[in-house]
Structure 1
Amino acid sequence: MIEARELSKTYGSVRAVDRVSFTAAAGRVTGFLGLNGSGKTTTLRILLGLVTPTSGQALVDGRRYRDLRHPVRRVGAVLEQGIGHPGQTGRAHLVTQAVFSGAGRSRVDALLEQVGLGHAADQRIGGYSLGMRQRLAVATALLGDPPVLVLDEPANGLDPEGIAWLRGLLRDHARSGGTVLISSHLLAELAQLVDDVVIIARGRLVRATSLAELTRDAEARVRVRSRDPRRLWHALTQAGGRITTDGTALEVAGLSPEEVGELAFRAQVPVHELTVRTPDLEQIFLTLAATR
């Protein structure tokens, strides 16, 4: 389990992280979302012992990263900047990392196959594509077979097949009891993966909840297209609906689709389209981030 407890980090007069608290639970995938400059990457770097917090604590299973006895066997990490010396081969990189971390070499070849780099194991990393380097970074994170994974933009450079592979790997890790904390700008993809969501903006926690709860709380809108939008607008507004339009159809908040249909019938306005539009994770995130 991962815990942030009243975590703060100040750089001079700038407070990059401001009393952020959240939990990433075992057996679940937690999405960590924030716009550029929100404090998201700083928080992850504090968690991994790369940045010292001004106050508060970031804990893995109740301990700071630097206090873990065998950190590589407890936490595997992928950072956005990538990994590996361009002159090394993929296999040599993993062997070196295994020796330095005390993880042992026995998993190297199996991991190269697992991440889809078996065919490129003896190629130099400098010749790898961005997606291949990301796969190597994931393999490095898995070297110690850690129960906790912390991933900062791990899907960068992956093609659709690679993204599907990563999604399956992380879901399997969580199903086996592992903890996954992942940040990504690919919110549509993240929505297919995560169980829980943590959103920060301007260094402060905006929301920490399950994805199901977050989407349930988001207000759905009804899209309705008719022959007489002006008369329908009047009828829906009179009933308390909040209306916007894209010039083709009305979007109605505050009324159910059944209510919209009944009101259109009473106003004798033929309806050509009536659909429910539930906000997706990207829309919800942008709305929450913009209000802070």
Structure 2
Amino acid sequence: MQPLVEPFFDSVTSTLTYVVHAGAGSVCAIIDSVLDFDPKSARTATCSADRVIAFVREQHLTVEWLLETHAHADHLSAAQYLKRTFGGRIAIGEQIRTVQRTFQGVFNVEVDAAADGAQFDHLFAPDETFTVGALAARAIHVPGHTPADMAYVIGNATFVGDTLFMPDVGSARCDFPGGDAHALYHSVRKLLSLPQETRLFMCHDYPPPSRNVCWETTVAEQRRTNIHLHDGVSESDFVEMRTRRDATLSMPTLILPSIQVNIRAGALPRPESNGIRYLKIPLDLL
């Protein structure tokens, strides 16, 4: 059985959320949801997630999984909001503990963000198999962008997170704490060893002016035309290119609020004595 994939593009963060299911009335997984956040006012909103909710209700789907490909640095996760609405298990790769340990020091976070992964309902081991209703699925560990990145193979569809972008955009940066361009190269080769016809779904798209936003490609297309990682690109050439390119990139606008929330499985910090929640901004660190 092959999955149906419904994409939701958030233009503010260039993020794709996916609902993966087998048809109306079936079980589904929601991948990489978005909680809206205005960095100027620090206000949250649920417009992006509400679009997903409307679709799930229209199709009479049962949410089994709320999957995160990694602890995103460019948007806040809406997993907790969706779980309150539908239930389901929030899941990520087990190496999220490494990311939590790294950012515990950055943010000096309190006990509700302990580095044990317990904030998530399930932590996937590398190559762990699972199901989305009648759909067979597998979690693949694809480190490089972060130590904890996962890709999810569901039927003939693979959700690659921030390993690959569309072929004319290339690959994800590797200069965040714990990132590793060598590891990303090997992660991508692992993904591109899947069958040629495998559908690959991107976590983001940053299109050049010559085309509209796209999010689906194939293993064959990536191997043939990816500007950073097409067949024939050596590990050393990729690492040299990625290191040089990363040195020119500024930090994502939402990295500081996003990471604090996403290592908590999308939970906001606890209210302080005045009833207000606060995010921390470390000075002169990143």
Q: TM-score, normalised by structure 2?
A: 0.32
Higher Rg of the two aligned structures: 1
Which has a greater percent of strand? Answer: 1
More helix by share: 1
TM-score (norm 1): 0.32
**Greater relative contact order (CA < 8 Å, ≥ 6 in sequence):** 1
